[in-house]
Amino acid sequence: MYDHLTIVNHPLVQHKLSLMREKETSTAVFRQLLREISQLLAYEVTRELPMTTKNIETPMVKMDAPVLAGKKLALVSILRAGNGLLDGVLELIPSARVGFVGLYRDEKTLKPVQYYFKVPEAMGDRLVIAVDPMLATGNSSVAAIDLLKSAGAKNIRFLCLLAAPEGVKRMKEAHPDVPIITASLDEKLNEVGYIVPGLGDAGDRMFGTK
């Protein structure tokens, strides 16, 4: 079931994640840790980007130097919590194009409702990295990927901080072609769709709204 899932077990990622999980961690520290961790995750999610070479001149000689090939990749933040991951990833890949998918979770049905959608042009020619810290039920992630595919995206990866087994299963059923990269596969969802042990509401913790 987990063959499309990559868990980034790097010690720095795991240490920072444990600090983020602690309920006493302040908003400022949570945000800073998220920024740092998202850069480490971005390193993993871009590991197999296609390369080409460019003829350059160093102060010593001419050489064929490796550079990224193809169109600029597209980062798509699933609002609002996705923005926390987006900032750090953008620091590492500053020339990436950026899109936004606005979905909120109906607290009763746990189903996603769309309120915003704006993505870069030529989605079919780009690697698209959808970012959302929490892969919980998978409902909003699946809906977001549906929208990205409708916009032409063919090569999509999903980057999150925590994943629940339920969300991973749902994503695999709906979008088996979309690899998932995460810092942790947690134990389960609780009865209201929160990840356990988790870190609480990612949006509230990064924006200080509770």
Q: Check 87, 105, 125, 146 and give the catalytic one.
A: 105
CB closer to ligand URA, 134 vs 159: 134
Instruction: Judge whether 130 and 96 are in contact, CB under 8 Å.
Output: no
Residue with Cβ nearer ligand URA (62 or 210): 210
Beta carbons within 8 Å of 110's beta carbon, 6+ residues apart? 137, 139, 192, 193
Does residue 105 carry a catalytic annotation?
Answer: yes
Minimum Å distance from CB 1 to ligand URA?
Answer: 20
Give the shortest CB-193-to-ligand URA separation in angstroms.
6
Q: How far is the CB of 155 from ligand URA (least distance, A)?
A: 26
Q: Considering only CA atoms, which of 2, 191, 159, 194 is closest in space to residue 88?
A: 159
The minimum distance between CB 188 and ligand URA, in angstroms, equals 11
Active site residue 106: no
The pairing of strands 188-189 and 195-196 is antiparallel
Q: Which is nearer to ligand URA, 22 or 64 (CB)?
A: 22
Spatial contact of 39 and 91, defined as CB atoms under 8 Å apart: yes
Out of 3, 47, 58, 109, the active site residue is 109
Torsional class of 23: left (φ above 0), alpha (ψ -120 to 50), beta (otherwise): alpha
Catalytic residue flag (residue 80): no
ω into 197 cis (within 30 of 0) = yes
Is 109 a known active-site residue?
yes
> Which spans of this chain sit near ligand URA (rule: CB under 6 A)?
81, 134, 136, 194-195, 198, 201-203
| Six-digit token string for 172 | 């695999």
| Residues designated as active site | 105, 109, 201, 204
